[in-house]
Chain A
Amino acid sequence: MEIELKEIDNNRWLIPKRGQMRVPGMIFSSPQLIRGLLKDQSLAQVANVASLPGIVKHSLAMPDIHWGYGFPIGGVAAFDMEEGIVSPGGVGYDINCGCRLMTTSLTLDEIKPHIKELISALFKNIPAGVGSEGHVHLNKKDEARVAEEGAAWAIKQGFGQMDDCEKTEDYGTFKGADPSILSERAIKRGLDQLGTLGSGNHFLEVQVVDRIYNEKIARVFNLSEGRITVFIHSGSRGFGHQICDDFLKEMGREAHIKNLQLPDRQLACAPIDSDLGNRYLSAMACAANYAWANRQILMHLAFETLLSTLSIGPRDLGMKLLYDVCHNIAKIETHNLDGIDRSLCVHRKGATRSLPPGHPLLPGIFQKTGQPVLIPGDMGTFSYVLAGADGAMEQSFGSSCHGAGRLLSRSTAIKTAKGRSIHRELEDKGIFVQSRGKETLKEEMPEAYKDVSQVVDVVHETGLATKVARLRPLGAIKG
């Protein structure tokens, strides 16, 4: 299908409503970034999402949009609660894949002599890679508690502080979880994977605050130039993958029986207001909670490793959670549509929530700043911290981008990296990386990603979020 694209301004492109589309598509991008989208099928995916029942306003794409499966990665879509649908493919297999950022009192000078040793220790202490098992082995009863309580469960076991919850999206607990509906396979896969990083693009990175854009907000976020931060990107592991799989198959069969015509089978969905839709949302909540418990435990493992490797006490380390956000989720939220507050089911598939100052869902500490929005880049350049802004509520159902977005396919990245040592190239830039997967470093090489700075600039210029700080990588572990 040929996609018509109309430029609205320098940062917004419209896909006019045509064919089966129920609403237009809206892409936040830049003249440079949009050119890359014409080569793949991501714009057709925006149009496909626009054809789903009950979608309101626009099928949206953030500036890090790239070709996904079903929904584009970087896609946002909101659905009416009565006529609309919920789609497991609109959330993704890695339910509540997300980011967590910790600030510390350490300075670059203090950590620089130890960075290699620190990365090795993190690599040793934090399970990563395919099929890795965590330090926490759950029985079924405890797994059900994890699925219901999320980060709070991990904190009760001694992994972190109680006030970490208020610095986590939804306070670290997704309401409505019902572990009793999960398949035996999902339960089995969740027993041994808590406290594991995963593989692919998941990572734990040690960084330094390299530049401050907004002093006032940075002060509240405890970010200042030269300070060390720790960034985690991980999700709900095999537990979440299995839940998505189980419901995609059930919804696909249902669509077949009812003879529903879907532009892509991966867009299989169920009415929100149905038994199947409700069961998916309850199962998805279990995986969201699992992911929050997982990142809470990963944070604690990093905390302990920093203490032991640097031989310092908790006070000297001064590690504090800044925030934890999810970027693969479907949530029932209130949004103002044409002057009326409406309850909508907002799907974010590779998109981060971005709540502005004063939003009632934010805790007191972020009432004046807006929600911290965490945007990881590739391992060779930068990550960014932004703050939620009013423009997100007006234009994107309170959403922002979630990363740089891939530019090269994995096979092209491997070909590009042939004969090169990515490990050595990064080390030459002062970035120490250890990974488990044989091809991970090649597939995740910096050139495989768009320029995160360009992506973040679009977000800033369109008012979806405000730039606060830039973080430069010093070292990372990957699955």
Chain B
Amino acid sequence: MDNKNTQDYILLDHTADMGFEIKGADPAELFKKAGMALIHVILGAVPSPGADKMKVSLKGYDLSDLMVRWLTEILYLFQGEYLVTTDIIIDSLSDDTVTATLIISPFNPLEHEILREIKAVTYHQIEVTGKDNIWNARVILDL
């Protein structure tokens, strides 16, 4: 694993939990960065590239809801299926649907040292905003 912080997200101070803020040139970049930020918060490192691919398609009722569902899916794959998302290709994204290809690797405790457990991705103060080529998202995690 690569231990350097990719600087693609800013950790937010929250008394009980933890959050992050990300910026992107468009919603697709925002979703990709958010997914990888989540993995980085859990592992404290960028995981080595996985060899398998998985298609994911999710629906939400707006971009903020979609962001929570998207990150929840990546978290579930880690916690429920023991699959580490090592890279993300956003195939298509609209206001209410995201389709993506996840590059995944089976969780290996010898390689993937866990920094902290994330219980859930919350809706607390969830925000996905932007226009043109400046997009921001804020996500609070339950630890």
A contact set with B: CB distance below 8 Å: 40, 42, 66-70, 73, 89, 92-94, 129-131, 185, 188-189, 198-200, 238, 241-242, 244-245, 248-249, 252-253, 256-257, 264-266, 268, 406-412, 436-440, 443, 479
10 pairs, A vs B, C-beta closer than 8 Å = A130-B116, A131-B79, A131-B107, A185-B76, A253-B65, A265-B123, A266-B123, A409-B14, A439-B115, A439-B116
In this assembly, does B117 line the interface, its C-beta being within 8 Å of a C-beta of chain A? yes
Number of A-B contacts defined by CB within 8 Å: 119
In Å, the complex CA distance between A186 and B33 comes to 27
**Contact call A266/B124, Cβ cutoff below 8 A:** yes
On chain B, the residues within 8 Å of A73 by CB distance are 16
B contact set with A: CB distance below 8 Å: 11, 13-18, 42, 44, 61-62, 64-65, 68-69, 72, 76, 79-80, 82, 107, 113-117, 119-120, 122-126, 140, 142-143
In Å, the complex CA distance between A189 and B125 comes to 27
On chain B, the residues within 8 Å of A265 by CB distance are 64-65, 123-124, 126
**Contact call B15/A199, Cβ cutoff below 8 A:** no
On chain A, the residues within 8 Å of B80 by CB distance are 185, 188-189, 238, 242
**Contact call A66/B15, Cβ cutoff below 8 A:** yes
**Contact call B124/A264, Cβ cutoff below 8 A:** yes
Contact of B117 among A67, A257, A479 (CB under 8 A): A479
With both chains docked as a complex, state the minimum distance between the C-beta of A266 and any C-beta of chain B, in angstroms.
4
With both chains docked as a complex, state the minimum distance between the C-beta of B30 and any C-beta of chain A, in angstroms.
18
In Å, the complex CA distance between A44 and B80 comes to 34
On chain A, the residues within 8 Å of B18 by CB distance are 409-411
Most buried by B among A89, A185, A252, A406: A252
**Contact call B116/A199, Cβ cutoff below 8 A:** yes
On chain A, the residues within 8 Å of B11 by CB distance are 411
**Contact call A437/B15, Cβ cutoff below 8 A:** no
On chain B, the residues within 8 Å of A199 by CB distance are 116-117
On chain A, the residues within 8 Å of B119 by CB distance are 93-94, 200, 241
**Contact call B16/A68, Cβ cutoff below 8 A:** yes
In Å, the complex CA distance between A411 and B19 comes to 10
In Å, the complex CA distance between A67 and B143 comes to 13
On chain A, the residues within 8 Å of B15 by CB distance are 40, 42, 66-67, 406-409
**Contact call B69/A249, Cβ cutoff below 8 A:** yes
In Å, the complex CA distance between A244 and B121 comes to 11
Contact of A93 among B107, B115, B116, B120 (CB under 8 A): B120
In Å, the complex CA distance between A407 and B69 comes to 30
**Contact call B61/A253, Cβ cutoff below 8 A:** yes
Contact of B13 among A66, A131, A409 (CB under 8 A): A409
On chain B, the residues within 8 Å of A244 by CB distance are 120
On chain A, the residues within 8 Å of B68 by CB distance are 249
**Contact call A440/B122, Cβ cutoff below 8 A:** no
A238-B80, A252-B123, A253-B61 known; A130 and B117 CB under 8 Å? yes
